[in-house]
Structure 1
Amino acid sequence: MTMLEPSFQQAMEIAAGWLKQWDDEEISDEVMADRVGELVASRDGARGFFVVSLAGDSALMDRLPEALIHKLQEAGEEVVDLTARNLAMSAAMTVHHRANGDEDQASGSERVNTRCTELLRQLESQRVKERLETLLEAAAHNRGEDVSFLERWGYNADQKAAIHAAIEAVAD
């Protein structure tokens, strides 16, 4: 299947359909991996896929089939970057939701965080290490190219501490 670069919204819809097919065992791990490989070739495609797969109910990102890992590794730096950002955002949002007494939302953010942690452990280790070091520099020391990313979301000290802990957990 060859496709034009989908918009973020289109990518979310495409990914949701594929995840349902995969969960219903209508498509194999290999077919799913090939489709995802094409989708994550563009930034919006990758963003859409990760929004749906990391936060949704599909077990794909819990199981992480070998064929999928291979395609995500091939996609390279973009996948590492988006996964690292999702790791940070989910860690920060867990703190936010707990502070507001919303345990259901906090649990959802924790699930995203766990999925990101496991995926980062499977991706190319040097890329992951470099990306997480950059993120850690911003979260722990307010320095580097990720400072604007953290400031854009207005994360407080507790949220930055959670991001720091999430980064450290990837190495555990």
Structure 2
Amino acid sequence: MTDRTPSFQEAMEIAATWLKQWDDEEISDEVMADRAAELVASRDGARGFFVVSLAGESSLMDRLPDPLVIKLREAGDGVVDLTARNLAMSAAMVVHHRNNGDEAQALGSERVNQRCTELLRQLDSHRVKERLETLLDAASHSRGDDLSFLERWGYDDDQKAAIGDAVQAVAES
């Protein structure tokens, strides 16, 4: 990558290329981890990386190689925040898709949700606990810092309940 911070769109394209190389065994877990660390160093880079890696066909986020987990842990609060938001959005979208009879999309959202759950279990437990408590406060009690996030997406009570269930599932092993 260059010294310039990639845009969200560029980060998605870069991540897709790197994930394909990783899936094709052209790059190692360590190289993939180093490259992911470059992307998650910026907000747009992290957003692009997670859109592609969480929702895509690559098995990277199913396997969660140790070098990747280490780099994502080192990235800190930004990674925890985006993963928590993706957990919430995917949980809410499972409800939305099922209500609309779109089982294929619901299954895709479930896969994203499961990947977020597993990643959150691997990240710094203190940071994850604090972040998920904030999310749970908004979903279950309609208060706190995440309330505007949930309201912006217009989640209904069933979706908020699903978000609460998803947060609780992270703690279960």
TM-score of the aligned structures, taking structure 2 as reference length: 0.98
Runs of at least 5 residues in structure 2 that lack an aligned partner in the other structure: none
**Is the aligned partner of 1:75 residue 2:54?**
no
The residue aligned with 2:55 is: 55
The residue aligned with 1:96 is: 96
What residue identity is the alignment partner of 1:155?
Answer: Y
2-side partners of 1:76 and 1:2: how far apart? 22
1-side partners of 2:124 and 2:2: how far apart? 26
The residue aligned with 1:135 is: 135
CA deviations on 1:73-125 (whole Å, 9 max, x unpaired) are 00000000000000000000000000000000000000000000000000000
Shift of 1:63: 0.1
Shift of 1:3: 3.3
2-side partners of 1:5 and 1:120: how far apart? 25
The residue aligned with 2:41 is: 41
2-side partners of 1:144 and 1:49: how far apart? 28
Shift of 1:2: 4.8
1-side partners of 2:3 and 2:125: how far apart? 30
SS at match of 2:6: coil
Give structure 1 regions of 4+ aligned residues with deviation exceeding 6 angstroms.
Answer: none
What residue identity is the alignment partner of 1:131?
Answer: R
2-side partners of 1:106 and 1:49: how far apart? 22
CA RMSD, 1 decimal: 0.6
2-side partners of 1:48 and 1:81: how far apart? 14
2-side partners of 1:85 and 1:78: how far apart? 11
2-side partners of 1:112 and 1:4: how far apart? 29
Shift of 1:4: 1.5
SS at match of 1:114: helix
What residue identity is the alignment partner of 2:66?
Answer: E
SS at match of 2:145: coil
8 Å CA contact 1:2–1:38 kept in 2: the answer is no
8 Å CA contact 1:15–1:52 kept in 2: the answer is yes
8 Å CA contact 1:12–1:49 kept in 2: the answer is yes
TM-score of the aligned structures, taking structure 1 as reference length: 0.99
2-side partners of 1:108 and 1:28: how far apart? 27
* Aligned sequence identity (%): 80
The residue aligned with 1:64 is: 64
The residue aligned with 1:148 is: 148
The residue aligned with 2:169 is: 169
